[in-house]
A and B are shown apart, each in its own frame.
Chain A
Amino acid sequence: MTAPTTSGLAAELAKVVDELRGVTVQVWTGAPGTGGAASGAGVLWDPQGSSGRGLVITNAHVVRGAQATVGLGDGAVLPARVVARDRKRDLAALELESSPAMFAQLREAPLQVGELVIAVGHPGGLVGVAALGIVHVVEGGRDDRRPRWIRADLRLAPGFSGGPLADMSGKVVGINAMVHGSLALAVPVTTVESWLRRAQAPAA
């Protein structure tokens, strides 16, 4: 039996995961040389031309202190500086000395309940693990307030924190931050962007 649709889907899924892995970094708290499994993941973010430095977005709970270490997909390990942190939104911005070649494509358009989403992270010491799920609920709406979280029916484990949640074109829609039962909670990219604009991040 041949299954052109399924084979095509599998190939496309692999492609999306591959692209996402390219913009997903490992994050260790503290200066390089501490070793061990990463404390979480991070996403290479568009630094918007600021002085040739690189920008990584992760969760506030992934990095403690002012120093962090970032591991890129190609194996390079770089020192990073925590330049902004917001515990309430569970976001942190890390600055790299030099800008990596790529960064995440973002989607700010609203999500639909039932659409497919994919998460990439580093649970249990494994690097670049993917999980597939669907959007569980779309909040906001009538009162026009921005939803605080994206909720996805998607099983995450510790180690996915700070990594990307993306749609099926590979565009990042949120930063994975929490597990609630079998739901994944992610910070929407619109929240990240407006926070970045306000914070004294190098991107501002």
Chain B
Amino acid sequence: MTALLESLSNELAAAVETAGRAVVAIHARRRIPASGVSWRPGVIVATNHTIRRDDNITVTLPDGTSAPATLAGRDPSTDLAVLKLPGQSLASASLRRDGPPRVGEFVIALGRPGARLTASWGIVSGVAGAWRTWQGGEIDSLLRLDLSIYDGFSGGPLIDAAGRVLGINTSGLARGAPVTIPVTTVDRTVAELLERGSIRRAYLGIGTQPVRVPQSLARRLELTNAVGLLIASVEPGGPADRDGVLLGDVLLELDGAEVSDPTDLLAKLGGDRVGRTVAARVIRGGQVKTLQVTPGERPEPRAA
């Protein structure tokens, strides 16, 4: 008898079946559809990069029927999009909110790239702290997975062995590698997208690159951090341009925090910074100078 093995197998199949009742197919691009999760009644979470049009979006439900959905908002920085699907009796996902999973936990990625539910399994191979996508999105924890994902899996859930959702999978944030956006990040983004239709982010309108300040200059200026951000481009008429930031300035600090990497800058440009004047310390002409800059609201990037 192989009672344990058969129970494990049955439990995995049951977890897939239960969680699969909240997984839908999203038709918003050519070729194969992508996946989405019924997050709460009437609200579907999907991935931004698989929604290539704003209108004429249809959803295939687990029972095989189709229904039109409307786009409530999208956030390229976390690759999430929210759809509204009113008037359907669709099960909502059971969400696991007790923090990130443990390394070694069994996990299953679900997708519905069409009428049928598909699954792949593996384990959590790594868990790390918060990270920032290169588009500036804040993801609460980094989950690395040892599992294969297949075409159309983006927007589908990562579930644990009890069928509870740990996050939304996407291949759109790390050059095709699977990334799971944790439940807390999805919750926050869904709330803001439902309220505003987009994620508010501050911006300065500059392009930067890290540079090492020559040792002699660093010593003379008594700098604690020898790496700064060279302003390599300034958007004409943008917030930084208006506030007198010049091409060739080397940015050392913004709002009291040292910046030595473009991601440090992004970390200082959350939605709450829009319109708030902050101090920027720069090296200009061999001298340290403090400018007052006021970040504006980043214009909505067009969906790729």
Residues of A within 8 A of B (CB): 5, 8-9, 12-13, 15-16, 112-116, 133-139, 141-142, 153, 167-170, 181-183
Contacts and interface: CB of A to CB of B under 8 A. Distances in A.
Interface string B5-40: 110111011111100100000000000000000000
B118 A136 contact: yes
B57 interface: no
A5 B106 CA distance: 14
A134 B5 contact: no
B99 to A, nearest CB: 23
Interface residues of B, number: 26
Contact of A113 (B6, B10, B117): B117
Nearest to B147: A153
B18 to A, nearest CB: 10
Given A134-B12, A181-B150, A183-B150, A113 B119 contact: yes
Nearest to B12: A114
B250 interface: no
Given A113-B117, A138-B116, A9 B13 contact: no
B225 interface: no
A8 B4 contact: yes
Given A136-B120, A153-B121, A114 B4 contact: no
A139 B120 CA distance: 15
B148 interface: yes
A114 B108 contact: yes
B86 interface: no
The 10 closest A-B pairs by CB, nearest first: A114-B16, A112-B13, A116-B9, A153-B120, A182-B148, A12-B2, A115-B13, A12-B5, A168-B5, A114-B13
B2 A135 contact: no
Interface string B165-205: 00000000000000000000000000000000000000000
Interface in B102-153: 108, 116-121, 147-148, 150
Given A134-B12, A181-B150, A113 B4 contact: no
A170 B108 CA distance: 23
A137 B116 contact: yes
Nearest to A167: B9
Given A182-B148, A183-B150, A5 B12 contact: no
Contacts of B5: 9, 12-13, 16, 116, 168
Interface of B: 2-6, 8-10, 12-17, 20, 64, 108, 116-121, 147-148, 150
Contacts of B64: 142
B4 A5 contact: yes
A31 to B, nearest CB: 39
B8 A168 contact: yes
A9 B108 contact: no
A169 B116 CA distance: 26
Contacts of A136: 118-120, 150
Contacts of B13: 112-115, 135
Contacts of B10: 115
A112 B16 contact: yes
A114 B8 contact: no
Contacts of A13: 2, 5
A59 B116 CA distance: 27
B6 A169 contact: yes
Contact of B8 (A9, A138, A181): A9
Contacts of B8: 9, 116, 168
A141 B118 CA distance: 14
A181 B15 CA distance: 25
Given A113-B17, A181-B150, A137 B117 contact: yes
Contacts of B119: 113-114, 134-137, 153
A12 B12 CA distance: 17
Given A113-B118, A153-B148, 7 more contacts: A9-B4, A113-B119, A114-B14, A116-B5, A134-B121, A153-B121, A181-B148
Nearest to A5: B4
Contacts of B120: 134, 136, 153, 182
